[in-house]
């Protein structure tokens, strides 16, 4: 007998139950993106669908060729280019990010495909309020090329993780994870596509979950 894997199967923990937050004031989000902005789109759409009580104050992108600002314009969100190549070091770059986020009155920072290491300058300005999404089941396959790492390792399950950011790369308290099976004929492209589907589902949920946890601790 031959067993066939269903490419749509996934496991999300905690389970998806996204709904508008209990807080009366929308969360003020600043989103950092380096590429296509598909996770920006997922958050913006969740807000538009009234699944997430938030508003995106600003998109910051570091790659002049990124597609994310096009998505921002489609949602009426201002986009600011901060090219990391124009700064002498990471601290100076993060300092300008902090200044920009503060100018736009941001409360929560969402790293949605942000391909830069952060420094204490950014982390200390928004303690426990920076959220990152990573394409693996952390703590496995940290750093760049996580999808490639998973395929090369021979594991049968990978996925994505949303977590609070700390100084150590791809660490910090985990908010939510989604598991994705690796199929026998998977390539980096096919596996990454299926992981992204789950990223788009769990990132808005993680933002709501992080905000709810903060409210419960007050």
Residues of each annotated binding site for (6R)-10-formyltetrahydrofolate: 90, 115-118, 132
Strands 11-13 and 174-181: antiparallel
CB atoms within 10 A of CB 187: 11
Q: Which two tokens stand for residue 133?
A: 């999404």
Give the span between the Cα atoms of 135 and 131, in whole angstroms: 14
Give the span between the Cα atoms of 112 and 39, in whole angstroms: 6
Q: Which two tokens stand for residue 125?
A: 């300005």
Give the span between the Cα atoms of 31 and 89, in whole angstroms: 21
Q: Does residue 134 have an active-site annotation?
A: yes
Question: Which H or E run contains 25?
Answer: none
Cα–Cα separations (whole angstroms), residue 145 to 132, 136, 189: 16, 10, 12
Instruction: Give the torsion through C-alpha atoms of 64, 65, 68, 70, to 10 deg.
Output: 100
Cα Rg of the chain, angstroms: 17
Give the span between the Cα atoms of 28 and 105, in whole angstroms: 7
Give the span between the Cα atoms of 195 and 41, in whole angstroms: 16
Q: Which residues are annotated as a binding site?
A: 37-39, 90, 115-118, 132
Residue of 75, 134, 192, 200 marked catalytic: 134
**What are the residue numbers of the active site?**
134
């Amino acid at each position: 007998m031959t067993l066939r894997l269903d490419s749509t199967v996934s496991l999300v923990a905690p389970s998806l139950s996204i709904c508008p937050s209990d807080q009366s004031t929308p969360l003020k989000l600043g989103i950092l993106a380096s590429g296509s902005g598909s996770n920006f789109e997922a958050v913006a759409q969740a807000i538009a669908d009234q699944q997430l009580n938030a508003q995106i104050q600003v998109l910051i992108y570091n790659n002049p060729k990124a597609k994310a600002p096009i998505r921002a314009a489609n949602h009426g969100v201002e986009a600011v280019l901060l090219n990391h190549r124009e700064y002498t070091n990471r601290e100076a770059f993060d300092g300008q990010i902090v200044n920009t986020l503060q100018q736009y009155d941001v409360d929560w920072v969402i790293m949605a495909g942000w391909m830069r290491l952060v420094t204490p300058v950014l982390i200390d300005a928004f303690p426990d309020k920076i959220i990152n999404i990573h394409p693996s089941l952390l703590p496995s396959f940290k750093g760049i090329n996580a999808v490639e790492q998973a395929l090369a390792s021979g594991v049968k399950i990978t996925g994505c993780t949303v977590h609070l950011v700390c100084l150590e790369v791809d660490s910090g308290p985990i908010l939510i994870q989604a598991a994705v099976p690796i199929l026998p004929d998977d390539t980096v492209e096919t596996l990454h596509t299926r992981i992204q589907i789950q990223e788009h589902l769990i990132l808005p949920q993680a933002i709501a979950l992080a905000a709810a946890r903060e409210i419960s601790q007050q």
